[in-house]
Chain A
Amino acid sequence: MHIPDGYLGPQTYGAAYVVMVPIWTWASRRVSRTLRLRQVPVLAMGAAFCFLVMMFNVPIPGGTTGHAVGAVLVAILLGPWAAVLAVSLVLLVQALLFGDGGITSYAANCLNMAVIMPFVGWWVFCLVGSSAPQGSRRRWLAAAAGGYVGLNAAALSASLMFGLQPLLAHDAAGRPLYAPFGLRVAVPVMMAEHLLLFGVVEAVVTGMALAFLDRTEPLLATAPAGESAPGPRGGRRLWIGLGVLILLTPLGLLLPWATGAGSAWGEWGGEELRAMLGHVPEGWARLSGLWRAPVPDYAPSGAEGGSVSAHLFWYLLSALAGSALVVGAVFAARRWLAARGEAG
């Protein structure tokens, strides 16, 4: 996932530096508050440890091997802000001394592997295992899930960076100047290998290394004070964020209406297909009626042709119901895992 020089255009790597500079500044302030005088030795050791995790090959069934990044493990052990700095230092040493990852693309690599990966992994770990007691199976499963989701989030971000290059930087004839493959190639190729192979390796190393530390050195297996799992305040912020997102959902209806954008690409209905092609493909007509959604187009049947405000109301209600279903499913899974952990 280390992007070398030459793959990203200046529009992308420049933007990545603009995003990363305030993140590095904030992270160093935050870490100096929590680690104080220990900051230098702990970060240096965290970075050296992260470097070594990347050098441990993990055998995978089928005869192949892969290696983990370790950013989520470092986030769990030292806190996500310390992980930002530790992984950034590792990436700098790898780019300068080992030619692994580029100088111009350094900030883009940091954004993917030092910010997105540890934070997404850390949040998943907190969501699934924040209340799990140390040494419980749920905590290890949460770490493994954090490693898997964190790595895939970073891979998705990297693939989007690659895939956007032909759009952002091309010559007068439209030929790409940097990474030549668009989103349709870059995203599936990158995500397939990470979802099926490297994500599993990351999950195994993160989960099992935490399990080992929980059993042998429980005092070392928790983040320092101030960087531990979010308490009630963190949870309240999450609920507020979710509420704001639900309130913003009507924008999904208003913006297409305001700009006359029409349906999203590939989400056409029968009438739209007929208008575009002059006929409705036979296979489409046969398969489209296989499943009737209980609330089609986010509104009950009979609400078609209603006013804009009625549509907005149903859209908002659908967002609330959908969020409640997802949150309910997560809580149910959490309770089930907790029950299994206690039984184990």
Chain B
Amino acid sequence: MTLPDWFLASQRAFARADPAEVGAGLHPRVRWLRRALGSLSRSWTLLLDERGLAARPGLLQAIDPRAKVLGLGAVILSVSIAPTVWAPLMACSLAGALAILSRVPPSRLAPALMAALFAGLIVLPVTLNLFAPGEPLLALWPPGAAGAHDPAVALTKEGVLLALRFILRVAACTTLALLLAATSGTARLFRGLRTLWVPRLAVMTLDLMVRYLEILLRAASELHLARISRTIGDVGSRADRRWVSAGVGALYRRTRIMAEQSYMGMIARGYTGEPTAEREGRMKPGDWLFMAAMWASALAIQLPR
């Protein structure tokens, strides 16, 4: 199923969360509600949009999810144990090539960029000789100390290498995981997890959870929208916290009612506790080829020492 452009455009307008933009015309006390609404709308749009992306033509979209789970999983595992900076660099290049060949829009991979930026922020102090000794690479303080043998503050060669390896590893692993999900569609991806011995009951629960999530995310968005519509001034953070708790409670009540209705529906359709899942067919030669290529890449990543 592909969502119409007019629908996605309206949801993206909702999901815009730039504080400067969303704050215009709103009381400062309501901005956090608007940001939360933006975040809920983004998650909802992403869940709905996922199926459309998985249905588009592209390299990874044509591969069986089982082959993708085993192939991309092997690359992620290989990057996570490799001690060199070349390993995550190679994996990042591979992920970039796969994203281009699968026509995955860069916005879908934005969480990987955020994870890498956050990792960079965390690891920043390690690049300075103030926190970890090393060979000076670039003198930062005192001014004009470039080329000095022992500057007070400098980027170190060892620190920069360590930070690069750390940031690239986070970026590579997150991008590969996002590619796996973005090009599979949730239902097929979860069935692909069966190759990793995930029990059938867990796969069925996951599938059901994502379907409910689509409904409940909408319900949570409506709760926020209703609150924004009814707030015209400062009500105080205590009242806001009460509203959040009541909202969480109301959602729980709704989830339990839906769970009971689903249970009755399942019983009515003859559910006896044994999950019945659509059987996946045999993997095609192309799937085996992709898996072999990914395993070869995982091994190649280990070669530079």
Contact = CB atoms under 8 A, between A and B. Distances in A.
Are A and B genuine complex partners? yes
B263 A102 contact: no
Nearest to B112: A99
Contacts of B123: 180
B209 A104 contact: no
Contact of B206 (A70, A92, A173, A217): A92
A323 interface: no
A51 B240 contact: no
Interface stretch (B34-42, B96-104, B146-154, B285-293): B34-42
A41 B259 contact: yes
A212 B245 contact: yes
A60 interface: yes
B241 A41 contact: no
B6 to A, nearest CB: 24
Given A213-B252, A213-B253, A99 B115 contact: yes
B64 interface: no
Interface stretch (B7-15, B137-145, B213-221, B294-302): B213-221
Nearest to A51: B213
A35 B272 CA distance: 13
Query: Interface centre among A48, A51, A55, A103, by most B CB within 10 Å?
Result: A48
A43 B259 CA distance: 9
B257 to A, nearest CB: 9
Looking at A41, A205, A209, A211, which has the most chain B CB atoms within 10 Å of its CB?
A: A41
Interface in B213-253: 213, 216-217, 220, 237, 240-242, 244-253
A21 to B, nearest CB: 9
Interface string A91-107: 01101111110111000
A139 to B, nearest CB: 14
A39 B201 contact: yes
A52 interface: yes
Nearest to B173: A5
A36 interface: yes
A134 to B, nearest CB: 14
Interface string A153-192: 0000000000000000001010111111100000000000
B46 interface: yes
